[in-house]
Amino acid sequence: MDLPPDVHLKDLCLDGRLNEALVEMAVLGSKVRFRGYDALVTECVRRKAHRVGQLVHAHMLKTRYRPSVYLDTRLLIMYDECGLLDDARELFDGMPQRNVVSWTAMISAYSQRGCQIETMVLFRLMLQTGLFPNEFTLATVLASCVNAHGIVHGRQVHSVAIKNNYESHVYVGSSLLNMYAKGSEIHDARIVFEMLPERDVVSCTSIISGYAQLGLDEEALHIFQKLFKQGMECNYVTFASLLTALAGIAALDYGKQVHALVIRRQLPFYVVLQNTLIYMYAKCGNLLYSRRVFDNMPEKTVTSWNAMLVGYGDHGLGREVLCLFNSMKDVKPDSVTYTAVLSGCSHGGLAEEGLEIFDKMVNDKELQPKMGHYACIVDLLGRVGKIEKALEFIKNMPVEPTIAMWGSLLGACRVHGNFSVGEYIAQELLHVEPKNAGNYVILSNIFADAGKWEDVIRVRDMMKGRTILKEPGRSWINLNKTVHTFHSSDRSHPQKDKVHAKVRELYEKIKEIGYVPNLSCVLYDVDDEQKERMLLGHSEKLAIAFGLMYSYEVGILRITKNLRICVDCHNFAKFVSKMSGRELSVRDCKRFHFIANGTCSCGDFW
């Protein structure tokens, strides 16, 4: 019985002897058939051997071998996996026939490289040829619709999925819900999730991380708890997403429980989880644990260093940031590292050091400074009162200043009492974003501090008739594994009367030792008595009062706030710490404030 001539070639490939197989191919010439080529291409994909892959392809052309759709597609995949997108496309364009797999492979090549437009263009072309997409195609296309713009296309792909009866497929479903979550349509994401007939780790993780990435941390925790009780499978991605959410709500006790779970299960990619743990402990105010996790890591990635640097920076520990940064060995700082270090210097009041590092970064030319880095420098100069210099820096930047940058400089003007520049910036800002209440508040504070009361009234008048958008203030405190959340002038908390009475009591007591309410923090057109009442309703005051009422241990009182703490609440907290002898930690959206004995670690700059 005659054996096909390329059987040996196939065996060599299966044995991983690619060089010998290559020789065999050359020797066989036009006697190489499908099985030989298929084996060669498979081995090239496995080894990512693009050079040999190109030789195999060239050999087919030279010997006038006509590859089947299958083999052409395998070649296409080979080129894609070896990183040769252009070769893949050229082959695709020249294919005499294409099937769903060919199209999907080509689309996937673009999708995985983040080429959204080309992905959609090809998908449309595919539909125009009359071919029906399968579950692979749909999952691939949807995976590239993962931003605010993509959701427009994503919705259309969704309807294609419904028409072809793939909506409930696990892979398509998780792509779909992820697409909606990334497009900030978490409600639609939830509907897709709830309608899935079967769920797996990925779809469950997708919905959890969907909530977490939108900052809906409590919702992320709730759905995790529910799914966990139902016995969902968890892997390192699940726990990483969950820990991010727990960091957001500063839920230290839950964080430790997850840490324990992660240790018990001995999950793979523990490095990633440790990075997230460093971050979580820091955001929960437990820097000691962050550092212990960091120190115990047998291997660190740049993300580990970044997370630790961010932790120190959030706590205003500039010296520790610098010390850690200078001890970075075997790891190259990346763009995030510099953001963390510069922002750490800023929060720690180390302007000179920060500027030096920025110069070093510019001179090294390895990393191009980005908007975030420039913003840190503006913040840094503003902090030490070099307002004019910051203005000059902004004018000389190679990038357009952002609203946030002006906002930070405006804050600096308030602290340093520079109301001429402050007013100039505020006017600009009120023009660009007339609906942001924060700008009015700071401007009003600046005028109030300068005693220019007629200007305070003017600011208030400017707000009249404009719709002022302000994210509602929200503060919370974790006691006994429960998150107690308070909104401004909260009327919903079950203990509301007691809490309000407690705030009032604290208020009377600290007035005796010098606290004066800062009425310019209220921008509503009401009389002073009403303003005072509104000030006392601020969510962080409610959380502080609640904490004093229900935490019996003498330890530090940890409050978290979604916005920046206001001047009056900051002052209130300082006086409460002085009067009660308790230490307070207030984490606002910018940093930690450690308040003890009437002073704050932020040095009244934030």
Partner DNA sequence: ATAGGGTTAG
Residues that bind DNA in the complex, under the rule CB under 7 A: 69-70, 73-74, 77, 99-102, 104-105, 108, 111-112, 134-137, 139-140, 143, 146, 169-171, 173-175, 178, 200-203, 205-206, 209, 213, 235-238, 240-241, 244, 247, 269, 271-272, 275-276, 279, 301-303, 306-307, 310, 335-336, 339-340, 343, 372, 375, 404
As measured in angstroms, the least distance from the Cβ of 171 to DNA is: 3
Q: Which is nearer to DNA, 104 or 520 (CB)?
A: 104
d(CA 261, CA 259): 5
As measured in angstroms, the least distance from the Cβ of 587 to DNA is: 12
Q: Which is nearer to DNA, 236 or 254 (CB)?
A: 236
Q: Which is nearer to DNA, 108 or 478 (CB)?
A: 108
d(CA 418, CA 405): 17
As measured in angstroms, the least distance from the Cβ of 501 to DNA is: 37
As measured in angstroms, the least distance from the Cβ of 209 to DNA is: 4
Helix (H) or strand (E) holding 587: strand 584-587
As measured in angstroms, the least distance from the Cβ of 232 to DNA is: 10
Q: Which is nearer to DNA, 76 or 542 (CB)?
A: 76
Residues 6 or more apart in contact with residue 560 via CB below 8 angstroms: 249, 250, 475, 476, 477, 586, 587, 588
Q: Which is nearer to DNA, 187 or 491 (CB)?
A: 187
First-to-last alpha carbon distance for the chain, in angstroms, is 86
Q: Which is nearer to DNA, 136 or 546 (CB)?
A: 136
As measured in angstroms, the least distance from the Cβ of 430 to DNA is: 21
> Is the torsion defined by CA of 290, 295, 298, 304 positive or negative?
positive
Three-class SS of residue 333? coil
Three-class SS of residue 23? helix
As measured in angstroms, the least distance from the Cβ of 104 to DNA is: 3
Q: Which is nearer to DNA, 281 or 447 (CB)?
A: 281
As measured in angstroms, the least distance from the Cβ of 58 to DNA is: 21
What string of H, E and C letters represents the secondary structure of 68-107? CHHHHHHHHHHHHHCCCHHHHHHHHHHCCCCCHHHHHHHH
Nearest 5°: the CA angle 26, 29, 33 is 110
Q: Which is nearer to DNA, 243 or 543 (CB)?
A: 243
Q: Which is nearer to DNA, 171 or 606 (CB)?
A: 171
Residue 131 exposure: Cα atoms within 13 Å on the Cβ side: 18
Q: Are 527 and 519 in contact (CB under 8 A)?
A: no
Q: Are 510 and 575 in contact (CB under 8 A)?
A: yes
DSSP string, 473-523: PEEEEEETTEEEEEETT---STTHHHHHHHHHHHHHHHHTTT----GGG--
- The pairing of beta strand 482-487 with beta strand 557-561: unpaired
As measured in angstroms, the least distance from the Cβ of 385 to DNA is: 21
